[in-house]
Amino acid sequence: MSRIKKAQAGNTATLSQSGINSMTIKEDNISGLYVHIPFCTSKCAYCNFYSEPVSAHDTYRLLQAMRRELSLADTSAVRTVYIGGGSPSCLPAAQLAEFMKTITDKCHDITEFTVECNPCQAAPRMLENLRELGVNRLSIGAQSFNDDELNLLGRIHNSESVRTAVYQARQAGFENISLDLIFAICGSTQATWQASLEQAIALNPEHISAYSLTLEASTPLAQEIEQGKYTAVDELTDRAMYEQAIETLTKAGYEHYEISNFAKSGFECRHNMGCWQNRPYIGIGPSASSSSGTRRTRNFSDIKTYIKAIESDQSPIGETVKISDMDRICETAVLNLRTKNGIDVKKFKQVTGNDPCLLFAEPVRTHCEQGLLKIENDRIYLTAKALPIADYVLCDFAAL
């Protein structure tokens, strides 16, 4: 499953027992909490996330360390929580539950609480447990409904497990379910992709993420393609599949609200929206990153190094990058532009103190001329034509 951090919207239920009203905190100050569980049952062929075989580690010891890291974090502004990985669902159920409880004890005003779940690990008891602990959104790593494709990706589940997982999640009371899908898998065609999309829609999830397969160098799949064992899907087809996803999902009532994300109205992932607004976030666990707005840090990836640091009362931060005002402005522009709403000119001014139309006058002008950007109602956003080539436009906002 991916480390993608998703959350939810629409659900107004607050987990807080102490009852601070989220409305008392200005929206721009709120932050998200991301927890990285670096374990998987086995490694998928295309995956370059940091994860290790769950069987080889003392999961409890790591969770203890993470609990300690969490206890030191200032989570007062946290409103969304996302437990990703790796596969959180591969943890022993009791350990996972205990950890969830630590979070809800510490964060009192959670509006969206997502846990990533591998389809073959969606045990009814665990799901019920999570639901009871306040988890209100489940992100299921379906990836495809074609078993050959799942096989090629090295996934440990089949399409049937996805259907079962969604069913169990509903049974457990989840009203906000997201499915991850991957297209342009080697050997896939527009027809197999269409079938996957339709089967996903048939399950009626509130949210769907559709990613083009990214071939990360050094993954087994990329090497197999290099060796000629598989052929990567050509660019034209890849693009057609992307457009196909947009069309199919939009028709089925999902709003295309970010480059790769689709949701029924009100179910946009709040946690990730926070990221695209460039709001601060706290990351807990090995390789997790945090951003304060002026600094972005990343924890040690190596599980042992991470544990050792925390157990000896040292910082688990392996890497710190300063974010200058300029960097932050550019990041905000780039991230905003990935969303359907694009850059909200007024809000951008308010948050960064700068008028994006002036700051980015040159790229805005040239891309508007080419029909890749549009300015309307105080918003600057990518046109449909620009979506498949978004980076070509975004790179001009990456620096001044």
Partner 1 sequence: MDTQYIRNFSIIAHIDHGKSTLADRMLEITGTITAREAQEQLLDDMDLERERGITIKASAVTMNYEYEGHAYMLNLIDTPGHVDFHYEVSRALAACEGALLVVDATQGVQAQTVANAYLAVENGAELMGVINKVDLPAAQPDVVGDEIEHVLGVKKSECLLISAKTGKGVKEVLDSICALMPAPKDLSNEPVEALIFDSHFDEYRGVICYVRVFSGKLKLKQKIRLMGSGRTYLITEIGKFCPKMKPAGELGTGEVGYVIANIRQLGDVTIGDTITDDAAPAEHALEKYKPPLQMVFSDFYPGSNTDYPKLRAAFDKLALNDASFSFVPQNSPALGFGFRCGFLGLLHMEIIQERLERENDINVVQTAPSVSYEVVMRDGKVIRIDSPSQLPDRTYIEELREPFVKLEIITGTDSIGGIMKLAEERRCKLIKTDYLGPTRVIMEYKSPLAEIVYDFYDLLKSISHGYATMDYEFLAFEKSSLVKIDILINGNPVDALSLIVHRDNAEPRGRKLIVKLRKTIPRHQFEIPLQVAIGGKIIARETIKAFRKDVTAKLYGGDVTRKMKVLKKQKEGKKRMKNIGNVQIPQEAFMSILDTSD
Cβ 373 to ligand SF4, closest distance in Å?
A: 33
Contact (CB, 8 A) for 127 and 174: yes
Task: List CB contacts of 152: < 8 A, sequence separation 6 or more.
Answer: 45, 185, 186, 187, 221, 230
Cβ 154 to ligand SF4, closest distance in Å?
A: 7
Interstrand relation of 177-183 and 137-143 (parallel, antiparallel or unpaired): parallel
Q: Which of 334, 343, 373, 380 binds partner 1 (CB under 8 A)?
A: 334
Residues forming a β-bridge with 82 = 34, 114
Interaction residues for partner 1, span 126-185 (CB under 8 A)? none
Is residue 266 reached through a cis peptide bond, with omega within 30 degrees of 0 on the bond before it?
A: no
- Residue 340 has phi, psi (to 5 degrees) of -55, -40
Binding mask 270-289 for partner 1 (x = CB under 8 A): --x--x-----x-x---xxx
Contact flag: residue 88 with ligand SF4 (CB under 6 A): no
Task: List CB contacts of 323: < 8 A, sequence separation 6 or more.
Answer: 291, 293, 294, 295, 296, 331
Contact flag: residue 363 with ligand SF4 (CB under 6 A): no
User: What are the CA-CA distances from residue 190 to residues 70, 148, 187, 367 (Å)?
Assistant: 44, 15, 10, 30
The count of chain residues that interact with partner 1, using the rule CB under 8 A, is: 45
Cβ 17 to partner 1, closest distance in Å?
A: 28
Contact flag: residue 1 with ligand SF4 (CB under 6 A): yes
User: Judged by CB under 8 A, which stretch of 2-10, 119-127, 142-150, 194-202 contacts partner 1?
Assistant: 2-10
Q: Which of 212, 219, 248, 336 binds partner 1 (CB under 8 A)?
A: 212
Contact (CB, 8 A) for 330 and 399: yes
Contact flag: residue 399 with partner 1 (CB under 8 A): yes
Q: Which of 259, 303, 307, 351 binds partner 1 (CB under 8 A)?
A: 259
Contact (CB, 8 A) for 223 and 305: no
DSSP secondary structure of 263-314: ESTT-S-HHHHHHHTT--EEEESTT-EEE-SSEEEEE-SSHHHHHHHHHTT-
> Closest CB to ligand SF4 among 39 and 99?
39
- Residue 189 has phi, psi (to 5 degrees) of -130, 175
Which listed option, partner 1, ligand SF4, none, makes contact with residue 364 (CB within 5 to 8 Å by class)?
A: none
Contact (CB, 8 A) for 112 and 269: yes
Number of helices (H), then strands (E), belonging to the chain: the values are 15, 17
Tell me the three state secondary structure of residue 127.
Answer: helix
- What whole-number distance in Å separates Cα of residue 37 and Cα of residue 104? 17
Contact flag: residue 116 with partner 1 (CB under 8 A): no
Taking the mean position of all CA atoms in its chain, how far away is CA 304?
A: 25
Q: Which residue's CB atom is positioned nearest to ligand SF4? A: 47
Cβ 78 to ligand SF4, closest distance in Å?
A: 24
> Closest CB to ligand SF4 among 40 and 186?
40
Q: Which of 2, 111, 159, 196 binds ligand SF4 (CB under 6 A)?
A: 2
Interaction residues for ligand SF4, span 23-42 (CB under 6 A)? 40
Which listed option, partner 1, ligand SF4, none, makes contact with residue 399 (CB within 5 to 8 Å by class)?
A: partner 1
Cβ 332 to ligand SF4, closest distance in Å?
A: 28
Q: Which of 47, 140, 335, 382 binds ligand SF4 (CB under 6 A)?
A: 47
Applying CB under 8 A, the residues found at the interface with partner 1 are 2-5, 32, 34, 211-212, 214, 235-236, 238-239, 242, 259-260, 272, 275, 281, 283, 287-289, 291, 296, 298, 321, 327, 330-331, 334-335, 338, 387-392, 394-399
